Structure 1
């Protein structure tokens, strides 16, 4: 079968893409509005952009549902403040993450909605998620408009990891963390790890 994107609706192409580019890691992005309101929202268009300097990137699309046609609060806050924190989502915090993915008014504190604890960052103003095993403080490098979306590239200026998730030699204990990933509209728990080639 073949599909020509320009002959399809955006939603249909999106479904094909998110069903093929899997599993996708989730960036649980915390920001702060110019009024000081805490914001927290997950994004699965997320990856490492550069190793030196260390940079991460997330892609943020337009609002959906009842907020269709609007700009997402995360993007507004990053544009205004130039700072954000990417928190890693373990499977144990899946329900809390889901609550922060819902549409909320700009003056709503998603930390409170999800019952999470905001923790001061060392360098940037946005708070970290205390319950998350890893937090990466970022300063905005640039925003690139790509079609309907915005690619946000930020330099990681501070890396936090809870001691129980650190194995030493800069290695993370994935088996303990069980990070969530995204498969189309579903989620996956990363828990089975192996080295190729697989032998029987």
Structure 2
């Protein structure tokens, strides 16, 4: 079988892509509005963009459902404040993460809605998620519009990790972290690790 994306609806192509590019890590992005409102939302179009300087990227699409055709608060806040924090989502925080993904009004604080604790960052103004064991403070490098979506590239200016999740020698304890990923509309939990023979 083969599919020509020009012959398909956007949603149909999206289903093929998100069912094939798996598992995708989740960036739990915290931002701050011009008015000082806290915002928190997950994005699974997320990866490392550069090693030196260290840069991360997330792709933010347009609003969906009842907010179809609108710009997501995360993108609006990053554009205006040029700062954000990427919090990593272990499986234990799956339900609060899911709660923060709901289409809530802009003035609603997702930290409160998901019963999470905002804590000060050291360099940027947006808050970190205290319950997340890994948080990366970022300053905006650039935003590139790609079709209907916006690729946000941020330079990581400070990395936080709970000591219990740090193995030493700059390595993360994945077995303890058990990070969540996306598989199409479902989630995956990384619990088994192995190496392949060279």
Q: 2:50 matched to 1:77?
A: no
Aligned-partner Cα distance in 1 for 2:92–2:100: 15
1:159 aligned residue: 159
Q: 2:38 matched to 1:38?
A: yes
1:6 aligned residue: 6
1:23 aligned residue: 23
Report how far residue 197 of structure 1 moved. 3.0
- State how many pairs are aligned: 198
Q: Secondary structure at the match of 2:42?
A: strand
Report how far residue 77 of structure 1 moved. 0.2
Unaligned residue ranges in structure 1 (runs of 5+) = none
Deviating above 3 A after TM superposition, structure 1's stretches of 4 or more consecutive aligned residues are none
Aligned-partner Cα distance in 2 for 1:77–1:104: 15
Aligned-partner Cα distance in 2 for 1:104–1:31: 15
Unaligned residue ranges in structure 2 (runs of 5+) = none
**TM-score relative to the length of structure 1:** 0.98
Correspondences of 1:30-179 after superposition (within 5 Å): 30-179=30-179
Aligned-partner Cα distance in 2 for 1:192–1:48: 22
Measured against aligned partners, the alpha-carbon deviations of 1:16-62 in whole angstroms (never above 9, x if no partner) come to: 00000000000000000000000000000000000000000000000
**TM-score relative to the length of structure 2:** 0.99
